[in-house]
Amino acid sequence: MPIAEPLDPAQARRIAVVRLHVNGQAHAVAAPTHWTLLELLRYQLGLVGSKQGCDKGDCGACTVLVDGLPTLACLTLAVAAEGRHVETVEGLGVGGEPHPLQRLFAERGAAQCGFCTPGMLMSSAHYLDELGRADAPVIRRADIAAALGGNLCRCTGYTKILEAVEAAAQETCSRAQAIGDGPGGAA
């Protein structure tokens, strides 16, 4: 069996300064170049909502949005987030109010141990963003399941999660319709 080259200590200690926006705030964060975005968020910025589950791309518990797209933070090097806009579960609610997804997860019993919940919420938030941008949005359970296909849950059996996201989607569509129907609306 080949013997691995010993790690160059200078390389191992290499540090980079990563400039990025997290939940709307600009940061310049020093991090070892081998760190992942998940490590930067949790251990440098103290944002521990994104969970370190499998740490190898299987479970989705680390899902954040990078420039609006669901991204596994455990598989993304921190230096690759240079100049990006990152959203984590800590940034979902506004002004101390929970995001509708957070409210509905609580109301519908969609979180049990809660370990998968931050990743589920971020994937769901992206699904709602896409739905809100559609010209003629249609809510399909199969589309929600596909949007959450990379997020594993050991507790809920998924049904209550799908119900909560579906209810949030209905709220999103009703709100968009109310804006369209209102004074000055496009409808």
The answer to the question of residue 116 lying near ligand FES (CB under 6 A) is yes
Is residue 78 at the binding interface for ligand FES, with CB under 6 A as the rule?
no
Q: Name the one residue in this structure whose structure tokens are 């290499």.
A: 14
Strand order of the β-sheet with 85-87 is 25-32, 15-22, 85-87, 63-66, 69-72
Stretch that binds ligand FES, among 82-90, 110-118, 128-136, 166-174 (CB under 6 A): 110-118
Strands 63-66 and 69-72: antiparallel
121 is a site residue for ligand FES (CB under 6 A): no
Token pair, residue 22, equals: 């997290």
State yes or no: residue 58 binds ligand FES (CB under 6 A).
Answer: yes
Segment lying near ligand FES (by CB under 6 A), choices 39-47, 100-108, 127-135, 148-156: 148-156
Q: What distance in Å separates the CA atoms of residue 139 and residue 133, rounded to the nearest whole number?
A: 13
**Residues 88, 102: Cα–Cα separation, whole Å:** 13
Contact flag: residue 166 with ligand FES (CB under 6 A): no
DSSP 97: B
Which of 112, 143, 166, 173 binds ligand FES (CB under 6 A)? It is: 112
Angle subtended at Cα 181 by Cα 177 and Cα 185, rounded to the nearest 5 degrees: 105
Of the candidate residues 72, 79, 164, 169, the single one contacting ligand FES (CB under 6 A): 72
Amino acid at 153: C
53/70 with CB nearer ligand FES: 53
Q: Does 59 bind ligand FES (CB under 6 A)?
A: yes
Which stretches of the chain bind ligand FES, using CB under 6 A? 52-55, 57-62, 72, 74, 111-117, 153-156
